[in-house]
């Protein structure tokens, strides 16, 4: 993308016509992948009360999804190291397009829209060169790939759009993998995770690296507040007897991150699965399916802790949080619990 900025500007020459909208998708406010009792997979829309608005079949296990900000479309990503993603029209259940990773690449299961839904950005592994890539896809052109750039590190997992609408933040987990060895981690002794802030044309605006004693903390998942704070959830690749913090907040990429000691390796079995920010009440929620624990933090530290078997998906709702579990539970604050005949997967994405 030698003239990437002018190219992106050119994509805005004509506007999308948002018809239908998410209002036509059964009142869905969240999306999540899940597994049915027969072993088949679905992408579901969930209403705020935890009921299911729609369920669309997936060919294999999903991970996360990206919801278009206007159109009732969701991009469902295969679980790493998947090479495809499916664009689903959530208003009628049809598959609108399929994204296929270029040769020598695979997706990491996350993506985000920008420019009002004109472009989709995806995290990818260029495994031949052991480097992370952000793929760029044009929605107007039927989700055609139109470019790519370096993610700023190795093993980019999650990616979010900052509130300015012009900056991407990428969780470079630091872990090298290769499809020939499956999910085996190839560089633990030398891994170096970071947060990278990138412009929409791929320019690196800033990077944040963890201290050397935390370099085995793979930065995996992100949540961004309305005022631009970035909370990040980590997964420890060292000895589980090491009691390192797994949750951090970055208030500016020119400052050191603040780490919360209570979300520790021992408490969360070395693994945070998902993270969400509720900007209205200035709280962060993190989940760990391995420990079966949900923690909620404010600026001054841990506010609440609860045990919930196989909990992972989490998103903000009202003055609290909405969580889903691998046992089929959908627990929405202010609405209570609904049990579904589904095993919810890792992430709950707000539309």
The pLDDT, as a whole number, for residue 116 is 95
The pLDDT, as a whole number, for residue 10 is 52
Do 185 and 237 form a contact (C-beta atoms < 8 A)?
yes
Q: What is the largest CA-CA distance in the chain?
A: 56
Cα dist. 101→126, 223, 332 in Å?
A: 10, 25, 35
User: Does residue 323 belong to any structural domain of this protein?
Assistant: no
Concatenate the DSSP letters of all residues of 190-253 into one string.
Answer: G---EEEEEETTS-EEEEEE--GGGTTEEEEEEEE-TTS-EEEEEEE-S-TTS--EEEEEES-T
User: Does residue 104 belong to any structural domain of this protein?
Assistant: yes
User: Does residue 70 belong to any structural domain of this protein?
Assistant: yes
User: Does residue 84 belong to any structural domain of this protein?
Assistant: yes
The pLDDT, as a whole number, for residue 18 is 47
Cα dist. 108→28, 65, 185 in Å?
A: 25, 11, 14
Residue range of the domain that includes 238: 19-270+345-350
pTM of this prediction?
A: 0.93
The pLDDT, as a whole number, for residue 2 is 46
- In eight-state DSSP terms, residue 165 is S
Q: Which residues does the chain have with pLDDT short of 70?
A: 1-18
User: Does residue 102 belong to any structural domain of this protein?
Assistant: yes
Measured CA to CA, the distance from residue 230 to residue 282 in angstroms comes to 12
User: Does residue 187 belong to any structural domain of this protein?
Assistant: yes
Nearest residue to 186 (alpha-carbon basis) of 195, 194, 177 = 177
User: Does residue 182 belong to any structural domain of this protein?
Assistant: yes
Measured CA to CA, the distance from residue 23 to residue 27 in angstroms comes to 6
Write the CATH number for 36.
2.130.10.10
Give the model confidence (pLDDT) of 127-159 as tens digits: 999 999 999 999 999 999 999 999 999 999 999
User: Does residue 194 belong to any structural domain of this protein?
Assistant: yes
The pLDDT, as a whole number, for residue 80 is 78
335's enclosing H/E stretch is: none
Measured CA to CA, the distance from residue 142 to residue 123 in angstroms comes to 19
The pLDDT, as a whole number, for residue 276 is 98
Total tally of structural domains belonging to the chain: 1
């Amino acid at each position: 993308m030698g003239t990437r900025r002018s190219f992106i500007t050119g994509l805005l020459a004509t506007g999308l016509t948002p018809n239908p909208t998410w209002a036509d998708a059964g009142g869905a406010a969240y999306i999540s992948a899940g597994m049915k009792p027969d072993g088949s997979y679905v992408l579901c829309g969930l209403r705020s009360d935890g009921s299911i608005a729609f369920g669309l079949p997936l060919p294999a296990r999903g991970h996360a999804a990206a919801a278009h900000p206007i159109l009732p479309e969701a991009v469902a990503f295969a679980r790493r190291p998947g090479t495809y993603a499916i664009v689903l029209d959530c208003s009628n259940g049809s598959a609108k397009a399929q994204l296929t990773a270029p040769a020598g690449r695979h997706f990491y299961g996350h993506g985000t829209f920008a420019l009002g839904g004109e472009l989709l950005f995806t995290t990818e592994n260029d495994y031949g060169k052991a480097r992370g890539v952000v793929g760029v896809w044009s929605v107007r052109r039927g989700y055609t790939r139109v470019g790519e750039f370096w993610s700023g590190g190795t093993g980019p997992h999650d990616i979010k759009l900052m509130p300015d609408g012009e900056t991407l933040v990428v969780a470079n987990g630091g872990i090298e993998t290769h499809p020939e060895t499956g999910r085996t981690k190839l560089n633990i002794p030398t891994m170096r995770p970071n947060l990278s802030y990138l412009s929409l044309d791929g320019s690196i605006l800033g990077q944040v690296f963890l201290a050397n004693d935390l370099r085995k903390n793979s930065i995996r998942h992100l949540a961004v507040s309305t005022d631009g704070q970035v909370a990040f959830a980590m997964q420890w690749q060292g000895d589980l007897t090491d009691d390192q913090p797994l949750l951090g907040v970055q208030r500016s990429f020119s400052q050191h991150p603040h780490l919360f000691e209570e979300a520790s390796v021992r408490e969360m079995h070395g693994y945070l699965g998902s993270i969400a920010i509720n900007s209205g009440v200035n709280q962060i929620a993190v989940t760990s399916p391995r420990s079966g624990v949900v923690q909620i933090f404010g600026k001054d530290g841990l506010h609440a802790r609860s045990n919930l078997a196989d909990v992972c998906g989490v998103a903000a709702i009202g003055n609290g949080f909405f969580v889903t579990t691998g046992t089929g539970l959908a627990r929405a604050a202010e609405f209570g619990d609904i049990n579904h005949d589904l095993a919810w997967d890792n992430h709950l994405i707000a539309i």
